[in-house]
Structure 1
Amino acid sequence: MGQEVEGKSGRLLLAGAVKVLAAAVFLGWLMMWILAPTNTYRQKWQPKLRSDTNSTYFGTQGTTILIYTFPVLFIAVLGCFYLHLVKGIDRRPGQHGYPLDRTAAGGRKGSPGRVAVWRRPALASGPLGIVSWTELAFAAMFLALLLWCFSTYLTVSFATITPQSAAMSGKKVWQVKLESAGLRLGLLGNICCAFLFFPVTRGSSLLPLAGLTSEGSIKYHIWLGHIVMVLFTLHSLCYVIYWASTNSLSTVHLRRSIRRPSLHRHGVLLIGWDLLSCAQMLGWAKADESTVAGELALLFGLALWATTFPRVRRKAFEVFFYTHQLYALFLLFYLLHVGISFFCLILPGIYLFMLDRFLRFLQSRQHVRLVSARLLPGETVELNFAKNPGLEYNPLSVVFVNLPAVSKLQWHPFTVTSNGNLEPDRLSVVVKKEGSWSQKLHQVLSSPSSLDRLDVSLEGPYEPASNNFLSYDSLVLVSGGSGVTPFFSIIREFIFRSAAGSGGSATIHLICTFKTSADLTMLDLLLPISSDASSISRLQLHVDAFVTREKAATAADSSKQIRTVWFKPRPSDLPVSAALGPRSWLWLAAVISASFAAFLLLLGILNRYYIYPIDKNTNNIYSYTARALLNLLLLCGCLGAAATAAFLWNKRAAAYSVDTRQVQSMDGPTPAVSPGSWFYNADRELESLPQESLVRSTNVHFGSRPDLKKMLLELDGPNTGVLVSGTREMRRDVARICSSGLAENLHYESMSFSW
């Protein structure tokens, strides 16, 4: 045992060292963005760096790869090693070296800790939603970075603009300054683009390294997206005004417009003709930036941006989703506009996103085994999938589900409700009948005709960054409607810990709101269908359920039973497994390293033996467009080859594993009687000890809503974590209560399952 503890402590120390190294490299990378606008960098550092990296193999592109691309990919590889080291430590309760059981609030369990203050909501309402003090501080620092860069860029560039220099170019001083400001606005947008794709990389090793998840970081992507489009739009408007003010119209087209009298009768049409006749606006330079490509990128970006506002996104989600795929065309024409050398400034985020997106594509091509579906009276469905016992995931993990029988294109995220320890061979999600997709799913499962099987594809699961809820002496879980489902995995985790005799001492208070009494049957899903949950009797669980649209309990209805549908899978159906196997983080590090090394090797060969003999590193002979497309081809080829090889290797290994063969050979049982609901049978004698314990710990309130302020402020626990999953109004109300300062013992935990 002593050697085991020593080994785990050594891995923790090594993981800490890796994290410190990653933080140091990140600070160095960030410092380059801060110094880039200064004269010190532009006049001293940049010439030196270019002279050292401007080889016949990489040219000027080598400088940006070394400074801006390589450090982030190196951090991503370090993050993979860190996550592998942490994951290698036994996280089960009762074992030594459990790293997440100490409070994430910054101190011992039972004390709030200093860091907990920074996690408190600073803003509970407004356009930014719920924002903690930490998020507000980092947002302020990022805005300070943008203001610093813009002011420094303008100060340095305006210092060289004089009436004499403007007159030599045939322009006025304000026109030259406008052009310079427009260029600098584009550079600011480029900084935002460098961070834009990190939050939406689901399998990222960078986000967990910083204690974040992709689901919880979506709002950062939204903020950055709005800033990017504002800056790029201003960048374009500055240049349009500049071109118009300097009379940069094509002489031929201008003469044609003057000779056509009909255009004089339509002044607006004449102005439009002249603007479209700008030589710069229609230019696609061979060895320089392409203006047309930039305009096309802006048009695709504006079309994408128009559907991202909340009213459009929530009322017409499919329009938003399909329009959002224009990001590929936006990036393509942005690359053709600025050239590959400049594009390498933002390449790391796009590189990791492309890799993640391709791995998700590979994982989604295989069908997983759907074992059963439980249909509840409240028009709720629990889907149970076969899982490889070697797949580990934490509570609050998220999977994306696609059912071709419902929709071939739509993917929907769901929180995993099962527990990997209680149910080692099952993975479950709960779907509430609300939108058109869930309604069609419920209709398919409720069809009286025999349903042998359903094809299902999954992406994930994607784990949360940490299990902060384990650090509190008591938990308050507040939910509305189907928002209760994320809490099932938390409660099942404590059921498991109670059975293990450790970690189950926390008091859990579940406050849930439903519209009708039929929705109360969702609480049946607190109990696993395939495991012994007798430990719930030892769990300190109290449930307050509020039914808002009914004044009293309805009479028992024999038709309101939980119905279970069992499926007959094909031999080709696979259990849910990680895309890159049980050692997924090490494989991801290998894919990142191998693909980037192959890209550099092929890029060096291309430049040395094809482009350099033509261009001689002058950057004014060989086509920018051809160079960019060739680089893109090499990049996609290397990423695709490395990711495919790793995926197929792990798929082949999983196909021959004992666990997979056991899961594939299992026949799903067909029970003669469907399980009943504890709510509709609460007046009868219950034979199930877990159901009896659940009934005793549940209070149902009809015709009222919970007084959250009163219920939360009456809690006297010294260290209480508050998690909320429901409507935006409910989340904001709870955030206001926790941040009001009336109860110092309440610690709001941010959960983002919808945006």
Structure 2
Amino acid sequence: MMPTNTYRKRWLPRFRAKTNNSTYFGAKGANLLMYTFPVLLVATLGCVYLHIAKKVNDSNKESCNAKKQHKVIIWKRPVLIKGPLGIVSGTELAFFLMFIALLIWSYTTSIYNNFATITPKLAAKDGEKVWEEKLESAALRLGVVGNICLAFLFFPVARGSCLLPLLGLTSENSIKYHIWLGHMAMILFTSHGICYIIYWAVTDQISRVLEWNKNDISNVAGEISLLFGLFLWIATIPRIRRKFFELFFYTHHFYILFIVFFIFHVGISYAFIMLPGFYLFLVDRYLRFLQSRQQVRLVSARVLPCEVVELNFSKGHGLTYNSTSVMFINVPSISKLQWHPFTITSNSNLERDKLSVVIKSEGSWTRKLYQLISTSSTIDHLVVSVEGPYGPALTNYLRHESLVMVSGGSGITPFISIIRELVYMKTTFKCKTPKVVLICAFKNSSSLSMLDLILPISGNPSGISDMELQIEAYITRDKEFKEDGPIQPKTIWFKPNLSNAPIHAILGPNSWLWLGAIISSSFIIFLILIGIITRYYIFPIDHNSNQIFSFPLNAFLNMLVICVSIVSVASATFLWNKKHNAKEINQIQNLEGSTPTVSPNSMVYNADRELESLPYQSLIHVTNVHYGVRPNLRRMLFEHKGSSVGVLASGPKIMRQEVASICSSALAKNLHFESISFSW
């Protein structure tokens, strides 16, 4: 409604009449009421909803209740496979087109209404031509529409936010929305800046480029903000991002300066339109910062022959997460600033005291980690910090009759977590689990050792023999089995360190309720503090005229109070939960005995001790290895004739596109596709 005359001439004056006369909030009161408060209220109520939904989901697991939801599944089918947008479902395409329509409608409506007021007489009065007045109006509206993109930009990257789970999304799968919004915002803001420079040049006002108005729009602040945004935007070009990832990573932190100078540019009152998404991001970012300051207890590392390392961490029993969750890891001895996401392969219920991630040696950071662990014979301690886990709030794989999981290379890791989840459901609650077909493609024979990871070292691996599981492994480059190096996995056990703690949920087992409390209470504290500052400091100077008190100082005070409110509440909540976790940490450290000296062996390479166990025999029995060929995915997927077949793809982009293309055909109405991708 913003660009319409109904909003501007009827609604907005009424809002401002009731809010702008307030001696506590002044001109920003209307935008606080209309834009910021509703979103934060939804976020708070959403946290309560997710807490209840988690309890219901846990009870449904115990009773093996799985809702069959196939009525709207057609909207989840891929409709775009290749192209700049990647794999896009019907729902995503519909919302994308509606958002584009919103931007176009907002721009054209505001332009139409404003152009109607520009007449030759008024233009001559200002000493300008009609087209020059219209150029300025068009430039201004480009910035206004760009702010719509900015208002949504930070929602997808708030990893622990409640708004994404409310829509059934995860932050990993939502990164593409952040990319789309970022491109649109920068196109609009860049056009906004260029049009204004052209306007100032043709009207002999080029000196306004250096204008910093203390009581109105600041041009210099806007230009600085745009420059930081352009640096950030250029670094996201795929070729630059892949070749110079560190450049991409570090320049992305320019978002802080981009936002700060943007607020200086437009003023705090207008900034409250985009504030809700950034506010939730700030809460999430600070909680991640608090968690990342702690060093975690790394128990062991299992090095596989295929240049893969499995890191096993100690975790608190109260930490739960769903399959396909990811965790961000930092190893200061490699890089103090870089954080990389990896799939968690362990199951929080099956392995209550251990959390495992699998890392493939592919990039420079992962190669350094692999070399550090695999080549060093004296390493007995490794300093590691983590953020997370992050993953779907709810999972329901029981709704399908069968699951077909297609992976390439290290893309098998999220499927390991799903199989372990089904093992837990089968052994603990005696649920009827779907038939599972794992189609995995590897380049070399040594990569077969990754199948070892399906069986957890701890927990109850015997449940694998009760599942209806079939594994089709394809070795694309080797015609037969080859031993290209060491054939046995190597396990390194690290010495306990009293300064390291098991991984705990940052806000404890009731994290959603605590998050809702942080969002609501920090915002209330912000309102109280800024109300006091406005009433007793700003109002006596300005008297709500908005012409005396400095815009930049007003913006700075509001930003400072927001940060103080979030930091104080989040820190208090974190310390409260840390105090409650301390007792469990002491118990875990007391129970840790001597370091084991026996390394787990591999079922692939016929380790006699392991082959005698039923789980490994069962896994070998259901595994078919094909050398020198690639899987015929079309034939293998069409073989499944059940009414509901879940098809999950994880791995290289081309492979995921091929699976999506098969599932989107008219002959595959029973195939329900889901892409799992952690690369952007």
Amino acid at match of 1:548: T
Kindly indicate whether the alpha-carbon contact (under 8 Å) linking 1:93 and 1:497 is maintained by their aligned counterparts in 2.
no
604, 622, 625: which is aligned to 2:552?
625
131, 138, 157: which is aligned to 1:181?
138
Aligned pairs for 1:169-318 (under 5 A) are 169-248=126-205, 278-318=206-246
> 2:67 is matched with which residue?
102
Quote the offset at 1:448 in angstroms: 4.1
Instruction: Give a deviation string over 1:79-129, Cα, whole Å, max 9, x none.
Output: 110111112236266634x67x213xx2xxxxxx22111000010100000
Structure 2: how far apart are the matches of 1:314 and 1:504? 44
Structure 2: how far apart are the matches of 1:482 and 1:186? 43
> 2:668 is matched with which residue?
743
Quote the offset at 1:532 in angstroms: 2.4
> 1:51 is matched with which residue?
17
Amino acid at match of 2:612: E
Instruction: Give a deviation string over 1:323-343, Cα, whole Å, max 9, x none.
Output: 111011101110110000011
> 1:260 is matched with which residue?
none
> 2:562 is matched with which residue?
635
Aligned pairs for 1:155-166 (under 5 A) are 155-166=112-123
Quote the offset at 1:396 in angstroms: 0.8
Q: Percent identity?
A: 58
Instruction: Give a deviation string over 1:461-517, Cα, whole Å, max 9, x none.
Output: 112143243321100000000110110010011111221253343110000011111
Structure 1: how far apart are the matches of 2:429 and 2:579? 39
Quote the offset at 1:434 in angstroms: 1.1
Aligned pairs for 1:652-691 (under 5 A) are 652-656=579-583, 659-667=584-592, 669-681=594-606, 686-691=611-616
Instruction: Give a deviation string over 1:425-469, Cα, whole Å, max 9, x none.
Output: 111000111111111111111234322211111111112143243
2:505 paired with 1:595: no
Distance 1:83-1:94 versus aligned 2 partners, 3 A rule: closer
What SS class does the counterpart of residue 300 from structure 2 fall into? strand
Distance 1:634-1:535 versus aligned 2 partners, 3 A rule: same
Structure 1: how far apart are the matches of 2:163 and 2:57? 22
Amino acid at match of 2:606: N
2:484 paired with 1:572: no
Kindly indicate whether the alpha-carbon contact (under 8 Å) linking 1:478 and 1:724 is maintained by their aligned counterparts in 2.
yes
Kindly indicate whether the alpha-carbon contact (under 8 Å) linking 1:94 and 1:500 is maintained by their aligned counterparts in 2.
no
> 1:139 is matched with which residue?
96
Quote the offset at 1:667 in angstroms: 2.5
Distance 1:627-1:218 versus aligned 2 partners, 3 A rule: same
| More displaced stretch, 84-93 vs 690-699 | 84-93
Give unmatched runs, 5+ long, in structure 1.
Answer: 1-34, 107-112, 249-277
41, 55, 73: which is aligned to 1:74?
41
Give unmatched runs, 5+ long, in structure 2.
Answer: none
> 1:91 is matched with which residue?
58
Kindly indicate whether the alpha-carbon contact (under 8 Å) linking 1:197 and 1:221 is maintained by their aligned counterparts in 2.
yes
Structure 2: how far apart are the matches of 1:280 and 1:94? 64
> 2:437 is matched with which residue?
509
Distance 1:50-1:508 versus aligned 2 partners, 3 A rule: same
Structure 1: how far apart are the matches of 2:532 and 2:337? 40
> 2:427 is matched with which residue?
499
Structure 1: how far apart are the matches of 2:407 and 2:669? 22
> 2:478 is matched with which residue?
550
> 2:296 is matched with which residue?
368
616, 635, 648: which is aligned to 1:710?
635
What SS class does the counterpart of residue 546 from structure 1 fall into? strand
Structure 2: how far apart are the matches of 1:233 and 1:341? 22
What SS class does the counterpart of residue 279 from structure 1 fall into? helix
> 2:355 is matched with which residue?
427
> 1:42 is matched with which residue?
8
Structure 2: how far apart are the matches of 1:603 and 1:594? 14
Aligned pairs for 1:304-703 (under 5 A) are 304-554=232-482, 559-656=486-583, 659-667=584-592, 669-681=594-606, 686-703=611-628
Kindly indicate whether the alpha-carbon contact (under 8 Å) linking 2:506 and 2:574 is maintained by their aligned counterparts in 1.
yes
Structure 2: how far apart are the matches of 1:683 and 1:397? 34
Quote the offset at 1:685 in angstroms: 8.6
Structure 2: how far apart are the matches of 1:605 and 1:684? 72
Structure 2: how far apart are the matches of 1:683 and 1:708? 34
**What is the TM-score normalised by the length of structure 2?**
0.98
Structure 1: how far apart are the matches of 2:554 and 2:118? 33
Instruction: Give a deviation string over 1:265-286, Cα, whole Å, max 9, x none.
Output: xxxxxxxxxxxxx221110011
Instruction: Give a deviation string over 1:334-368, Cα, whole Å, max 9, x none.
Output: 01100000111100011111111011000000111
Structure 1: how far apart are the matches of 2:393 and 2:665? 27
Kindly indicate whether the alpha-carbon contact (under 8 Å) linking 1:568 and 1:668 is maintained by their aligned counterparts in 2.
no
Distance 1:498-1:169 versus aligned 2 partners, 3 A rule: same
Kindly indicate whether the alpha-carbon contact (under 8 Å) linking 2:225 and 2:261 is maintained by their aligned counterparts in 1.
yes
Structure 2: how far apart are the matches of 1:566 and 1:616? 68
Instruction: Give a deviation string over 1:221-263, Cα, whole Å, max 9, x none.
Output: 0000000000001111111111111112xxxxxxxxxxxxxxx
Kindly indicate whether the alpha-carbon contact (under 8 Å) linking 1:594 and 1:642 is maintained by their aligned counterparts in 2.
yes
Instruction: Give a deviation string over 1:609-649, Cα, whole Å, max 9, x none.
Output: 11111111111111111111111111111111111111111
Quote the offset at 1:403 in angstroms: 1.2
Structure 1: how far apart are the matches of 2:161 and 2:429? 34
Distance 1:315-1:94 versus aligned 2 partners, 3 A rule: closer
Kindly indicate whether the alpha-carbon contact (under 8 Å) linking 1:93 and 1:500 is maintained by their aligned counterparts in 2.
no
Kindly indicate whether the alpha-carbon contact (under 8 Å) linking 2:208 and 2:219 is maintained by their aligned counterparts in 1.
yes
> 1:110 is matched with which residue?
none
What SS class does the counterpart of residue 673 from structure 1 fall into? coil
Kindly indicate whether the alpha-carbon contact (under 8 Å) linking 2:507 and 2:577 is maintained by their aligned counterparts in 1.
yes
Kindly indicate whether the alpha-carbon contact (under 8 Å) linking 2:318 and 2:505 is maintained by their aligned counterparts in 1.
no
What SS class does the counterpart of residue 534 from structure 2 fall into? helix
Structure 2: how far apart are the matches of 1:312 and 1:504? 48
Amino acid at match of 1:704: V
631, 635, 658: which is aligned to 1:733?
658
**What is the TM-score normalised by the length of structure 1?**
0.88
> 2:75 is matched with which residue?
118
What SS class does the counterpart of residue 490 from structure 1 fall into? helix
Aligned residues: 679
Kindly indicate whether the alpha-carbon contact (under 8 Å) linking 1:567 and 1:668 is maintained by their aligned counterparts in 2.
no
Instruction: Give a deviation string over 1:301-324, Cα, whole Å, max 9, x none.
Output: 011000112111122211111111
Kindly indicate whether the alpha-carbon contact (under 8 Å) linking 2:156 and 2:175 is maintained by their aligned counterparts in 1.
yes
Structure 1: how far apart are the matches of 2:111 and 2:291? 48
| More displaced stretch, 450-459 vs 485-494 | 450-459
| More displaced stretch, 422-431 vs 459-468 | 459-468
| More displaced stretch, 72-81 vs 661-670 | 661-670
Distance 1:654-1:118 versus aligned 2 partners, 3 A rule: same
Quote the offset at 1:568 in angstroms: 1.2
Q: CA RMSD in A?
A: 1.5
Structure 1: how far apart are the matches of 2:240 and 2:514? 39
What SS class does the counterpart of residue 644 from structure 1 fall into? helix
